[in-house]
Structure 1
Amino acid sequence: MPELPEVETVRLGLQPVLENATIERAEVRRKNLRFPFPDQLADRLAGRQVVGLGRRAKYLLADLDDGMVLVMHLGMSGSFRVVSEEEQHLIAEESFHLARGKRPQHDHVVLHLSSGTSILYNDPRRFGFFDLIARVTLAEHPYFAKLGVEPVGNALSADYLAEKFAGKKTPLKSALLDQHIIAGLGNIYVCEALFRSGLDPRRSAGTLVTKTGRPSAKLALLTEEIRATIAEAIAAGGSTLRDHTRADGSLGYFQHRFKAYDREGDACTKEGCGGTIERITQSGRSTFFCASCQK
């Protein structure tokens, strides 16, 4: 599943085209994806201007000029791509499909903009979804009401994590994946941040908090590494795993910088360590770490 850096990369790719644009016509080519589409979605989008394009956790949020927000989630395999009028004429050619890696039968939603450009949503597994929610009720909606802070920006701090981790016997990795604590932080980047911080994913989250409830030096380092890892991944365009691509069809490259994730059996890259990257399973998810230097 695309994680926060991948979703933010898609947002950055769509923003110059979609923000302040008018949706001249929308096509909804199915009755449902993971969930049914909102009633009359195509009609409700037609003629609307997109006044802002944001993100919350792994959700893309397109604010419309009528006070509604088009909420979009990529699911397991969803992706957007921007196509010009000329490219739309090529969509019927198999060579074009193979080059872009997206088959047209999976283009389930198309937004035709007044500029002549179109935005296609492609989702082979159909685990993504679209919804329309009034902006004034968005924060209280079940999608968002219990989400924690973003792993970018000033809200994520060592003090905040100390408050959330105090007394917790939950394994550190599981605590970091709790979306009620940090929204949008996923398996790949938790593994990488823990490796960079030298912290064992199996240790109790509460061990990073002092007896007085203050963040330890290790928790302060972990907080910095989470923010740095996410920022670097966004700058690299995310990690192209299976279906994820940027909105222009190009690939992300952060996977070439993985130090731990998906490197089972490789030598640890930390100078002087000499350990080997291992894989264990925690809460049904693969965890990659070096038992020699992550304590």
Structure 2
Amino acid sequence: MPELPEVETTRRGIAPWLDGAVIERIVVRDPRLRWPVADDVHRAEGQRVTRLARRAKYLLVSVDGGALMLHLGMSGSVRVLTTSAEPGRHDHVDIVTDRATLRFNDPRRFGSLHWVDEPLDAHALLRDLGPEPLGPDFDGDHLWRLSRGARRSVKTFIMDGKVVVGVGNIYASEALYMAGIHPTRHAGRVSRARYDGLAAAIRDVLGRAIEAGGTTLRDFSSAQGTPGYFAQDLLVYDREGQACFQCGDAIRRRVIGQRASYYCPRCQR
């Protein structure tokens, strides 16, 4: 599933082809995504892109009077085409500009495309989101304040988009390992100092993943079709039974909140 680094990698990849470009037409071959693609997406046609941004896992393509909001879902990707190519079975939407065609492919159809003509932060899918983990509003104090009295696991807590956006399953496991915090520990029982370390670990692991182009485990590749390489740097995720890089004990796997979690029983408390 594309997480924040994968979406940011996509944004960076399509930016040279989209920033300042004119959207000539939008071709919707199959509107049956997570939510049906509405006809109002065509309001972007004929308009110049004024800004390409990311909020959480949403790509925001702003034009005068509104924006297209794209979510990659569980298996979605965007390709940049500079020559014509026949669409494949899962190529559901093309955004055709005066520079190139951006083709949205989504085999599982959990992605979405919306037209937003209200202030973006007021949209129902964005208004309740927490801060960006790489932004100025996110730190250990933020996590500590929201966690007071919380009895859910700290892993579930940091994966809550209302707490902080974009900390998906892979990066949550990695950050908790780096911070030495057991994933099942109650969020309300983590100290202020340890949350400082966890916030720093989240920033570090996401930043490094972005620079590596994301993590390719099954479906993800960049806008140019190249894979992400952060999988080569994973410390615990998907390493069940292998030796911990710090202490040598075997990495364990446990299901927490219906997601596979990986941790070292000795290094994480």
What TM-score range do you get, normalising by the shorter chain? Answer: over 0.9
Tell me which residue corresponds to 2:98.
114
| Aligned pairs for 1:94-173 within 5 A | 104-115=88-99, 117-136=100-119, 138-173=120-155
Q: Does 1:289 align with 2:258?
A: no
TM-score by length of 2: 0.97
Alignment check: 8 A CA contact 2:59 2:71 kept: yes
Tell me by how many angstroms 1:145 deviates: 1.4
Tell me by how many angstroms 1:283 deviates: 1.1
Q: Identity across aligned pairs (percent)? A: 42
Tell me which residue corresponds to 2:243.
267
Tell me which residue corresponds to 1:212.
none
Tell me which residue corresponds to 1:36.
36
Q: 1:69 corresponds to which letter in structure 2?
A: A
CA distance in 1, matches of 2:40, 2:60: 19
SS of the residue 1:144 aligns to: coil
Q: 2:229 corresponds to which letter in structure 1?
A: Y
CA distance in 2, matches of 1:158, 1:223: 5
Tell me which residue corresponds to 1:13.
13
Tell me which residue corresponds to 1:55.
54
Match of 1:182 among 147, 150, 164: 164
Alignment check: 8 A CA contact 1:28 1:41 kept: no
Calculate the aligned-residue CA RMSD, in Å.
1.2
Q: Does 1:246 align with 2:222?
A: yes
Alignment check: 8 A CA contact 1:53 1:60 kept: yes
CA distance in 2, matches of 1:151, 1:128: 22
Tell me by how many angstroms 1:206 deviates: 1.5
Q: 1:61 corresponds to which letter in structure 2?
A: L
CA deviation vs aligned residue, 1:166-192 (integer Å, no higher than 9, x gap): 122221111111111011210000000
Alignment check: 8 A CA contact 2:31 2:92 kept: no
Structure 1 runs, 4 residues or longer, greater than 4 Å off: none
CA distance in 2, matches of 1:183, 1:245: 21
Tell me by how many angstroms 1:33 deviates: 1.1
Answer with 55-64 or 32-41: which moved more. Answer: 32-41
Alignment check: 8 A CA contact 1:49 1:64 kept: yes
Unaligned runs of 5+ in 1: 93-102, 210-214
Tell me which residue corresponds to 2:207.
231
Unaligned runs of 5+ in 2: none
Tell me by how many angstroms 1:40 deviates: 4.5
Tell me by how many angstroms 1:243 deviates: 1.4
Tell me which residue corresponds to 1:98.
none
Tell me which residue corresponds to 1:75.
73
CA distance in 2, matches of 1:242, 1:164: 34
Q: How many residues align?
A: 269
SS of the residue 2:39 aligns to: coil
Q: 1:109 corresponds to which letter in structure 2?
A: V
SS of the residue 2:152 aligns to: coil
Q: 1:80 corresponds to which letter in structure 2?
A: V
Q: 2:267 corresponds to which letter in structure 1?
A: C
SS of the residue 2:68 aligns to: strand
Alignment check: 8 A CA contact 1:83 1:118 kept: yes
CA distance in 2, matches of 1:199, 1:159: 16
CA distance in 2, matches of 1:238, 1:31: 28
